């Protein structure tokens, strides 16, 4: 068995991940729980050096993702340094990173195994730790969203699922995100035999089983790079009121960076649909309204209920895009944004589904994102208003 482990001999903030274990994060979303350090914060740009033989292009790509989507900046150095803060990327037997900034006058190391450094998103996960992010499943309040089968876990595994209930950890009131890059997969640390028969360590209390439960337990992050929402509130004062889970654009404070499906300066608009989608805005009533979507087109369907009401959506038939390397991501999935926090990843749907299932919105609206790839693509659903 291959495990993520915490090494007891390392400093308190240090997390060691077994280098042979594939990451199981499926979507890049850094708007997560964070360890604050106001006493000794990172100084921008963050200096970094990539030691030989680490794959430099992959480290640079991970850093580019951060720089393109956040106010965090980096400056690559042509030689190593030891008298100032920064990051040194080194090859090692495991994937390792401190959680947050730990030294004012010395760099800290991010260790990358040969396996780990082959994928930029593994590196991105470790960068998330270096910038202060903790694992999503260890955040305060996680028990409202997942159940954990502790009977499958040894002492080492239990440590990895311990809630980080410390005064210097904050989540900025963002919703739990099952698809965060900082989240473990459903079978990590679990029993081999229980995994073989489909008994996960982590189970969702929401509709998450329609995404991860269908996917490879050893899948790594691939495909689309969603908004990397990280530390913005630590570096920028909010200068605009963003809607639908958007956040201020650090490059232009008069605009917002919007989550998938939303657009406009304040994220108050829905992304424009293909011409074949027809009507894309509906008001729910007490009577079921049927909708059929098919063929190759992109549709963004907004369904609203009255104030203090919810939307009840029943999907009766689904032929969504297939998994890409056994992974269902925003790039290759239909998506149902039923959560109250529209910035959180919605329910991702891939493959064929002919057994009806029902979703109730957490707020008065649902956004359905249909991405048909051909004549075989199809989605049948009905919706109505409910309490």
DSSP three-state, residue 256: strand
Rounded Cα distance, 376 and 314, in Å: 20
Query: What whole-number distance in Å separates Cα of residue 349 and Cα of residue 230?
Result: 26
Measuring CA to CA, how many Å separate 171 from each of 32, 187, 351, 352? 6, 25, 33, 36
Q: Does residue 43 contact residue 105 with C-beta atoms inside 8 Å?
A: no
What does the alpha-carbon distance between residue 291 and residue 278 come to, in Å, rounded to a whole number?
Answer: 11
Q: Is 207 annotated as a binding residue?
A: no
The active-site residue, picked from 126, 215, 330, 385, is 126
Nearest Cα residue to 301 out of 328, 338, 265, 327:
338
DSSP per residue, 135-200: -GGGSTTGGGTEEE-GGG--HHHHHHT-----TTEE-TTPPP-TT-TTPPPTTTT--HHHHHTT--
Is 126 catalytic? The answer is yes
Q: To 10 degrees, the CA torsion angle through 150, 154, 160, 166?
A: 70
Helical H runs in 19-119? Answer: 56-69
Q: Count the Cβ atoms, other than its own, within 10 Å of residue 291.
A: 18
- The structure tokens listed for 226 are 């969603």
**Burial of residue 1, with CB atoms counted within 10 A of its CB: 0-12 exposed, 13-18 middle, 19 or more buried:** exposed
Residue 343 neighbours by CB distance under 10 Å:
25
> Element (H or E) spanning 121, and its range?
helix 120-130
183 is in an annotated binding site: no
**Closest among 66, 29, 69, 16 to 46, alpha carbons compared:** 66
Asked whether residue 27 is marked as a ligand-binding residue, the answer is: no
Catalytic residues, which ones?
A: 126
Binding residues for Zn(2+) are 125, 129, 135
User: Residues forming the annotated binding site?
Assistant: 125, 129, 135
């Amino acid at each position: 068995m291959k495990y993520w482990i915490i090494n007891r001999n390392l400093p308190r903030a240090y997390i060691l991940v077994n280098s042979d274990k594939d990451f199981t994060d499926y979507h890049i979303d850094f708007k997560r729980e964070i360890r604050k350090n106001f006493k000794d914060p990172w100084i921008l740009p963050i200096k970094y050096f990539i030691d030989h033989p680490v794959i430099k292009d992959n480290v640079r790509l991970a850093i580019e993702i951060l720089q393109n989507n956040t106010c965090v900046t980096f400056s690559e150095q042509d030689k190593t340094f030891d008298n100032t803060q920064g990051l040194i990327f080194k090859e090692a037997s495991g994937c390792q990173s401190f959680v947050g900034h730990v030294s004012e006058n010395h760099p800290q190391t991010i260790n990358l195994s040969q396996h780990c450094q082959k994928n930029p998103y593994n590196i991105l996960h470790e960068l998330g730790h270096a910038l202060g992010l903790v694992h999503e499943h260890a955040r305060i309040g996680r028990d409202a969203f997942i159940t954990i089968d502790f009977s499958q876990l040894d002492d080492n595994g239990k440590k990895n699922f311990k809630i980080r209930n410390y005064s210097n950890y904050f989540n900025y009131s963002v919703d739990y995100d099952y698809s965060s890059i900082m989240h473990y997969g459903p079978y990590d640390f679990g029993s081999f035999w229980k995994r073989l028969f489909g008994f996960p360590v982590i189970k969702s209390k929401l509709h998450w089983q329609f995404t991860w439960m269908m996917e490879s337990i050893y899948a790594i992050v691939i495909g689309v790079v969603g908004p990397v929402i990280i530390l913005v509130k630590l570096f920028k004062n909010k200068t605009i009121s963003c809607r639908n889970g958007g956040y201020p654009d650090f490059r232009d404070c008069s605009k917002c960076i919007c989550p998938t499906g939303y657009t406009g300066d304040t994220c108050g608009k829905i992304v424009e649909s293909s011409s074949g989608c027809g009507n894309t805005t509906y008001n729910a009533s007490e009577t079921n309204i049927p909708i059929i979507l098919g063929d190759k087109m992109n549709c963004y369907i907004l369904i609203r209920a009255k104030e203090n009401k919810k939307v009840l959506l029943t999907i009766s038939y689904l032929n969504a895009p297939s998994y890409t390397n056994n992974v269902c991501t925003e790039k290759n999935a239909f998506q149902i944004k039923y959560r109250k926090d529209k910035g959180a990843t919605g329910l991702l749907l891939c493959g064929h589904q002919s057994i009806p299932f029902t979703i109730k919105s957490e707020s008065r609206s649902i956004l359905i994102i249909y991405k048909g790839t051909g004549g075989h693509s199809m989605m049948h659903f009905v919706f109505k208003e409910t309490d």
